Structure 1
Amino acid sequence: MTADAAAALARRAAVRPRRFGALFVFEHRLTTARRTWTSNVVPALGLPVLYLFAMGLGLGSLIGGGAGAADLGGVSYLVFVAPALLTAAAFQTASEEFIFPIRLGFKWNPTFFGMNAAPLSPGQIIDGNVIYTSVRITANSLVYFLIMWAFGAVQSGWGILSVLAALLTALSFGGPLIAYITSLDKDASQETLVLRFIVMPLTLFSGTYFPLSLMPVYLQWIGWVSPLWHGTQLARDATYGLGEPAWLIAVHLAYLVATFVVGWQIARRLARKKLNK
């Protein structure tokens, strides 16, 4: 084969990766995940049952009716907390998928540099990871929703939309997170700091286990800026009709979409700068 023929063959072979590069990255992540599928499937099935039993039925039996039920909008604690557990699970998954695999690809086992040396662009590498995480979160959330339904925690025909709310929650947090992880050059336990001082406080103070209005006013701002609170409110609107006005639902949606898009675009630019230098 002549050099010109080899070059032409290489160019033809690069057409599909250049056009559908994000899907090739998604396939790579999916193939890698198959080796540890049990560690993903078992928690996706078992944790919803455990959390709904412990929080919804166990703790809910202590709260009971009366003033507690009034604070919850007149619904049982199981109905109140179930959609929050759904979005919190998606939030936690996003914190894992947008930290460690991204850090691995850029630093610890820099496969992203190898991908970029092929016809894949930095933006496609980021997009492929976002697609994989979105598919995983959607699948997990569907399982969670079905278990919620089996527990009687879904009281609206629109309840399936809580899966979309969970996905938007995960992406809203994941966009800025993947941008931050992409920007890192040195190892200084930043991943642990994010999990301890951002993920955990947002999980506790975003109206997940109790209404945000019960918190002191000087702490309520944590919920207002938290994607988890906005997503949880949307999930509650879907599963039992929280009764929020249309303008507030629009604010929740706009906030979640905007934070994801901004973080995602910044991550793509940072990846291009890092991989092409």
Structure 2
Amino acid sequence: MTADTAAGLDELRAEAMAWGRKPRRHGTWYVTEHMVRAMRAYGWTIIVGALGQPVLYLLGLAVGLSALIDAPVDDGGRPVPYLVFVAPALLMTAAIAVASEEFTYPVMAGFKWRRYFFGFNASPLSSPQIAGGVVAGAAARMGVTVVLYFAFIVLFFGWLQPDAARAATAWLCMPVGVLAGLAFGVPLMAYAASLEDDKGQFALVQRFVFMPMFLFSGTFYPLAVLPVWLQWIGWVSPLWHASEVGRWALYGKDVGIGMLAAHLLYLLVLAVGGLVLARRLFTRRLAR
């Protein structure tokens, strides 16, 4: 082998190593890009769902249930118009509903049906980066949903705002909504990554986890009006914790700094703890 040939091979190796290090640095975002691009196949479903849900729920409540409720809701000693009371909780529910979609069947598809996670793993991408990219891609869709939901609330129900000064904090409902979706969805992704086959587990999650959480987490009425033996559903539910923060942001519910921090900490622990577990499960599953 001549010196020129050896030098040329060294340059090729160096170039290959450089190309290999690049996805190692930005691998999470490559997976995120793939997940977001894959959503284009059902992009209209995402947009229509993100717009249709607030229209159906909020307008339905405006011309239906709230028309029968003349008195405001007594939320911690503060009278609040009914639509203002339910709006933050419905925004949080919308984000969690997206999480229940993106962190279940797409994860199963990546491991079993389409197996594209194994394709990612055959490249310089690492298993934790794959898990992180799935989370970031779902968070992007949740972000679109909460932004459209919040815009609808502001455009059509802004006049119901009991305290105009809260406009400075009302926008916090959007990042809290994404955090709520992650607090529910990332542990669900870890559960999905542990499954070898779909035998109806995700349907059971919808019926026996998501729906009770939606109905009994203070979404449509204060949690305190429920009997104590049902209130625990709200206490362990990320929806109730996120709704309490959203109500503080939207109309200034007296939550208290300590409880506000506790609500946010609970959501963060669920999201971060779920991610740690999901990264380990992805690594174990993709190492086979």
TM-score normalised by the chain length of structure 2 = 0.91
Alignment match of 1:117 (pick from 98, 122, 147): 122
Q: Which one has a bigger Cα radius of gyration? A: 2
Task: Give the match's secondary structure for 2:64.
Answer: helix
Q: What SS does the aligned partner of 2:110 have? A: helix
What letter is aligned with 2:128?
Answer: G
Structure 2 unpaired stretches of 5+: none
Q: Tell me: CA distance 1:71–1:26, structure 2 relative to 1, closer, same or farther (3 Å).
A: closer
Distance 2:234 2:75 in 1: 17
Pairing 1:206–2:210 present = no
SS of residue matched to 1:74: strand
Q: Which residue of 2 aligns with 1:266?
A: 277
Comparing 81-90 and 132-141, the one that deviates more: 132-141
Preserved contact between residue 57 and residue 78 of structure 1 (Cα < 8 Å):
no
Find the residue that maps to 1:42 and give its secondary structure. helix
User: Which residue in 2 is equivalent to 1:70?
Assistant: 74
Q: Which residue of 2 aligns with 1:53?
A: 59
Provide the residue aligned with 2:142 in structure 1.
Answer: 137
Amino acid at match of 1:112: F
Equivalent residue in structure 2 for 1:92, among 91, 97, 102: 97
Q: Matched residues in 2 for 1:6 and 1:31: separation?
A: 31
Structure 1 residue 269, shift from structure 2 partner: 0.6
- Percent identity between matched residues is 44
Output the aligned Cα RMSD.
Answer: 1.7
Whole-angstrom CA distance in 2 between matches of 1:106 and 1:56: 43
> Normalising to structure 1: TM-score of the pair?
0.94
Within the alignment, does 1:28 sit opposite 2:34 as a pair? Answer: yes
Cα deviation code 1:111-170 (max 9, x no counterpart): 001100001111001101111111211121111111101222544221000111111111
Whole-Å separation in 2 of the counterparts to 1:56 and 1:100: 34
Counterpart position of 1:170: 181
2:194 corresponds to 1:183: yes
Task: Tell whether the 8 Å contact from 1:176 to 1:263 is kept in structure 2 after alignment.
Answer: yes
Whether 1:224 aligns to 2:235 is yes
Between the aligned partners of 2:10 and 2:211, the Cα distance in structure 1 is 57
Name the CA distance, whole Å, in 1 between partners of 2:231 and 2:210.
16
Q: Distance in 2 between matches of 1:179 and 1:41?
A: 27
- Closer, same or farther in 2 for the Cα pair 1:9/1:70, shift >3 Å? closer
Which residue identity does 2:148 align to in structure 1?
A: V
SS at match of 2:170: coil
Alignment of 1:149-168 (within 5 A): 149-150=154-155, 151-152=157-158, 153-154=160-161, 155=163, 156-157=166-167, 158-168=169-179
Residues of 1 paired with 2:282 and 2:74: CA distance? 49
Pairwise CA distance, 1:5: 5.7
Counterpart for residue 126 of structure 1: 131
Q: 147, 150, 169: which one pairs with 2:152?
A: 147
Aligned length: 275
CA 1:56–1:166: 2 relative to 1, 3 Å: farther
CA contact (8 A) 1:56 1:79 kept: no
Change (3 A) 1:112 1:185: same
- Deviation of 1:57 after TM superposition, in Å, equals 4.0
Q: Which amino acid aligns with 1:95?
A: S
For 2:91 and 2:62, how far apart are their aligned partners in 1? 12
Corresponding residue SS for 1:184 = coil
Partner residue in 2 for 1:256: 267
Q: Gaps spanning 5+ residues in structure 1: where?
A: none
